[in-house]
Structure 1
Amino acid sequence: MFAFAAPRRRRRPSLTPMIDVVFLLLVFFMLAARFGQDAGIELGLAGGGGAWSGPPRLVELTPDESRLNGVAVDMPGLVAGLGRLTDSPADPIVIRPAPGTDLQRLADVLAALRAAGFSALALVE
């Protein structure tokens, strides 16, 4: 006859590695979570305003320069030029980034115009 070994008691799996993994995931997600409010730039929806009044105010952004109505200007010149072209800070200003313009450059220009008091900024393609 065949002689089989005596049946051994089944070993239960240890829960320690699973608990370690759960705690590591908990720590990871707590560190990766972002608490607080991110900075944002408010833009109005196009077509919601009234009729256009005053001279044209087109700000074109390229990767290398900023142009106000086709004339290359630096940032202080842009703010000063828009101040001369607007009657009030609520007058609309059209901003058109050229293809290839960095998003950070656009955000910097929008933040500078907001800081200068201009509130009606319209972003177009």
Structure 2
Amino acid sequence: MSEGGFDLGPRRHPRRMSLTPMIDVVFLLLIFFMLASRFGMDVALPIAGGAEGGATEWQGAPRLVDVTPDAVMLNGTTTAPSDLAAAVAELLPEPGDAVILRPREGTDLQRVVAVMDLLRTDGITNMILVE
């Protein structure tokens, strides 16, 4: 023993910290976030809100498409989905005029999107979605 203290042996140099475990964790996090994220473009639905129809005067007959969980109605009359676009086109004074889509209670979003796609494939692109 030395005077006035304890002998702890020869002085050791502090061991240098290894960065390997930290680099492993960073790579694991990178892989996790790459797998968890979604790449690619999300599909955007071009629809107008209810206020757009108020900016211009309404031209022609009413064009209200009610979408229910099990049927599609045009101006209150049940219409087959295959006949919907032709029936709506007959009511349009001009091809670019608006059609109002109104999902009814209990209708899921996928059903509304399917009706919108059905109309869009037949050339009806100006749709206003209301509650």
Could you tell me the TM-score, scaled by structure 2's length? 0.79
Deviations, residues 67-91 of structure 1 (Å, cap 9, x unaligned)? 1111112211211211221122212
Unaligned runs of 5+ in 1: none
Segments of 4+ in structure 1 off by > 6 A? none
| Counterpart-to-counterpart distance in 1, 2:11 and 2:18 | 18
CA contact (8 A) 2:72 2:80 kept: yes
Q: 2:88: which partner in 1? A: 82
Percent identity between the two aligned chains:
48
CA contact (8 A) 2:49 2:130 kept: no
| Counterpart-to-counterpart distance in 2, 1:8 and 1:110 | 78
Deviations, residues 67-121 of structure 1 (Å, cap 9, x unaligned)? 1111112211211211221122212111000122111111111111111111221
RMSD of aligned alpha carbons: 2.3
Superposed, 1:1-125 pairs within 5 Å as: 6=9, 9=12, 13-48=17-52, 49-125=55-131
Q: Give the aligned length.
A: 125
CA contact (8 A) 1:57 1:94 kept: yes
Unaligned runs of 5+ in 2: none
Q: Tell me by how many angstroms 1:8 deviates.
A: 7.8
Deviations, residues 32-79 of structure 1 (Å, cap 9, x unaligned)? 333332211111243334111111111001111111111112211211
CA contact (8 A) 1:91 1:120 kept: yes
